[in-house]
Amino acid sequence: MSAPAIRESLSAKVAAYIARHGLLPAQGEIVVAVSGGADSLCLLHLLHSLCGEGKLFPTVRLLAAHLNHRQRGEASERDALSVARLVSAWGIPITIGSVDVPALAHREKRSLEEAARLARYAFLRDVAQGRPIAVAHQADDQVETILLHLLRGSGLAGLVGMAPRQQDIIRPLLGVTRAEILAYCQQHGLQPLEDESNRDLRFLRNRVRYELLPLLEQLNPGFRETLRRSAEVWRVDLEWIESCVSQCWPTVVSSASANEVIMSVPALLAQPLSLQRHLLRRATALLCGGQSPLEPRHYTLLEACLQEAQHSRAERSLDLPGRLLLHVSGSVLRLSHGPLSRRERERPSDQTVLLLPIPGEGQVPGTPWRARAALLAPDIEQAALEALAREDWETVWHLLPRTRYVVYIDGEAAGPWLEVRTRRAGDRIQPLGMQQSRKVQDVLVDAHVPRSERETLPLFFAGSRCIWVAGLCLAESVRLSRTTRHIVQLSISR
């Protein structure tokens, strides 16, 4: 098959998979997780070819997100920068986050794999703010995931593997093999980053990939496809069970929110044991961001607790994984989040940054604001540059009307992209017309910005220099002048 045919067939295959499973919204923005590896580069490249004006999904926009796990020192920093440069070159806004995963694993007594996964999804959801998140899981990952679940003693929900859509997570490449992805990257000249940890046999997934799967394929050369077919059979059975759970949910559950689920104990115990467990699995998943932390041993503990409470009529409480607390009083069962530990309350949150290419736009992490950097129409820019050369400011501001949330800067002084984030201790800016820099904190206080708004106000940076405290203060370093050769419009909107 020729190179163009390979590219076209994979693009068509993924587009059909997206349409069949309804993975993309009718319009709006999706967040694409980009590690820099072959799978995520292929995913972003394919979605970029399918989404946007004049393409198959014209009203869908992309925002990329990359998390630096800080597992490989300077190499992790270089990878984050490489991903940022590549994605920005494609004109896609990107948010870069950073979490010390080894420290997180040590602090929370988790494996590196689990700590990295939890940190990654927490970061992606912080960036997405409820929007769909596209991840690059593919067909070979599916096989490895099913085997991992089998090794850990999973039930039916684990044996079906990953779904094309799971709450806010979408997986457009789940029907694509690793070999197809590598061929696509080669044909497109995409150069994936190599993460040495992907071959570290201390991680169970890598042992499954490089030791267990080759052995199983010696016994059955078609093992991968056999397991995927089996998973599809199990999925049909699970869908029927889930429909039964949905039918009896109103009978058993009196109220449900992201913070608490209240159940009737008699109604729960009246259900077959399978449905009891699936009801508890759904309830705990609701409280834990879509994924239940319960294992078979926890169901056994729960059932013993419920039986004791029924027989003795005494109150019972049980601590569960995921900081969940079960409390049974009379005929009422409450599942809720337990209180934060002192260490969790005092833990500093990790900062995230929107890397904003010029032109480009994106959501500023942790805020209700969208940031935008736009180029001017050529005729408007030329007329404004001529007025600047004459220092005809009346004409300049007639051509470039400013508002609190719209400003114009010298594009050459800004560079090819900007960083946009919220305030950090020590941030400074040299306001327009001033010789010295000032603390951003002082600027906010002098402008009487309410405390509640200070932590979500976007700050624009060119390199290490703050060039705009949005809505308040522009920097001297990017002001328009008679020597300006290129003009960029910056704006924020809710």
* pLDDT given for residue 206 in this prediction: 87
- Whether 152 and 295 map to the same domain: the answer is no
Q: How far is CA 113 from CA 48, 71, 168, 171, 194, in A?
A: 29, 11, 21, 20, 17
pLDDT band at 32 (very low <50, low <70, confident <90, very high): very high
Distance CA 277, CA 3 (A): 50
- pLDDT of 345 over the 80 cut: no
| Residue among 214, 190, 208, 147 nearest 36 (CA) | 190
Q: What DSSP letter does each residue of 175-198 carry, written as one string? A: TS-HHHHHHHHHHHT--PPP-GGG
Q: Is residue 239 part of a domain?
A: no
Distance CA 170, CA 62 (A): 13
482 contacts: CB under 8 Å, gap ≥ 6: 388, 389, 390, 391
Full residue range of the structural domain in which residue 205 is found: 3-228
- pLDDT of 84 over the 80 cut: yes
Q: pTM score > 0.85 for this model? A: no
pLDDT band at 347 (very low <50, low <70, confident <90, very high): very low
Q: Is residue 234 part of a domain?
A: no
- pLDDT of 8 over the 80 cut: no
- Whether 451 and 314 map to the same domain: the answer is no
| Strands, E assignment, 1-132 | 28-33, 60-68, 94-98
Phi and psi at 255, nearest 5°, equal: -155, 150
- pLDDT of 348 over the 90 cut: no
Which of 31-45, 147-161, 164-178, 367-381 shows the lowest per-residue confidence on average (mean pLDDT)?
147-161
- We report the CATH number of the domain holding residue 282 as 3.30.465.60
- Whether 211 and 82 map to the same domain: the answer is yes
* pLDDT given for residue 290 in this prediction: 67
Q: Is residue 241 part of a domain?
A: no
Mean pLDDT calculated for residue range 211-234: 91
Chosen domain end from 342, 372, 387: 342
Q: Looking at this protein, which amino acid is placed at residue 420? A: V
Contacts by 395-404 with C-beta closer than 8 Å and gap 24+? 396/480, 400/376, 400/487, 400/489, 404/471
Q: Does residue 113 contact residue 203 with C-beta atoms inside 8 Å? A: yes
Q: Is residue 199 part of a domain?
A: yes
* pLDDT given for residue 346 in this prediction: 43
Q: What DSSP letter does each residue of 341-356 carry, written as one string? A: PHHHHHPPPPPEEEEE
Mean pLDDT calculated for residue range 458-470: 91
Reading the block at residue 314, the tokens are 């005494």
| Residue among 63, 14, 45 nearest 171 (CA) | 14
Mean pLDDT calculated for residue range 52-58: 93
- Whether 301 and 365 map to the same domain: the answer is no
Which helix H or strand E contains 286, and what residues bound it? helix 273-287
* pLDDT given for residue 344 in this prediction: 45
- pLDDT of 5 over the 60 cut: no
- We report the CATH number of the domain holding residue 95 as 3.40.50.620
Chosen domain end from 318, 342, 366: 342
Distance CA 359, CA 171 (A): 28
Beta pairing partners, 262: 255, 334
- Whether 199 and 296 map to the same domain: the answer is no
* pLDDT given for residue 349 in this prediction: 43
pLDDT band at 141 (very low <50, low <70, confident <90, very high): very high
Reading the block at residue 113, the tokens are 């794999």
Q: Is residue 70 part of a domain?
A: yes
Q: Is residue 461 part of a domain?
A: yes
Mean pLDDT calculated for residue range 448-453: 81
| Residue among 405, 413, 410, 442 nearest 425 (CA) | 442
Provide the 8-state DSSP code for 490. Answer: E
Percent of the chain at pLDDT exceeding 90: 42
Residue 136 CA, distance from chain mean position: 12
Distance CA 252, CA 314 (A): 21
**Mean pLDDT, rounded, of the chain:** 86
Q: Does residue 205 contact residue 116 with C-beta atoms inside 8 Å? A: no
Mean pLDDT calculated for residue range 305-314: 77
- Whether 334 and 365 map to the same domain: the answer is no
Q: Looking at this protein, which amino acid is placed at residue 148? A: L
Reading the block at residue 8, the tokens are 């076209």
Can the peptide bond before residue 359 be classed as cis, meaning omega within 30 degrees of 0? yes
Percent of the chain at pLDDT exceeding 70: 94
- pLDDT of 242 over the 60 cut: yes
First to last CA, the chain: 48
Q: Is residue 172 part of a domain?
A: yes
**Cβ neighbours of 30 (radius 10 Å):** 22
- Whether 271 and 148 map to the same domain: the answer is no
* Angle between helices 223-252 and 273-287 in degrees, nearest 10: 90
Q: List, for residues 85-140, the tens digit of each pLDDT value.
A: 889 889 999 998 888 888 887 777 777 878 888 889 888 988 888 899 999 999 99
Which of 179-193, 289-303, 339-353, 397-411 shows the lowest per-residue confidence on average (mean pLDDT)?
339-353
Q: Is residue 312 part of a domain?
A: yes
- Whether 190 and 56 map to the same domain: the answer is yes
Mean pLDDT calculated for residue range 464-481: 91
The four Cα atoms 128, 133, 137, 139 give a dihedral, to 10 degrees, of 180
- Whether 420 and 453 map to the same domain: the answer is yes
**Cβ neighbours of 40 (radius 10 Å):** 23
Chosen domain end from 209, 228, 247: 228
Q: Looking at this protein, which amino acid is placed at residue 204? A: L
Count of structural domains within the chain: 3
Distance CA 13, CA 382 (A): 45
Q: Looking at this protein, which amino acid is placed at residue 102? A: P
- pLDDT of 300 over the 70 cut: yes
Q: List, for residues 17-30, the tens digit of each pLDDT value.
A: 999 999 999 999 99
- Whether 336 and 373 map to the same domain: the answer is no
- Whether 370 and 270 map to the same domain: the answer is no
- pLDDT of 171 over the 50 cut: yes
- Whether 18 and 112 map to the same domain: the answer is yes
* pLDDT given for residue 408 in this prediction: 95
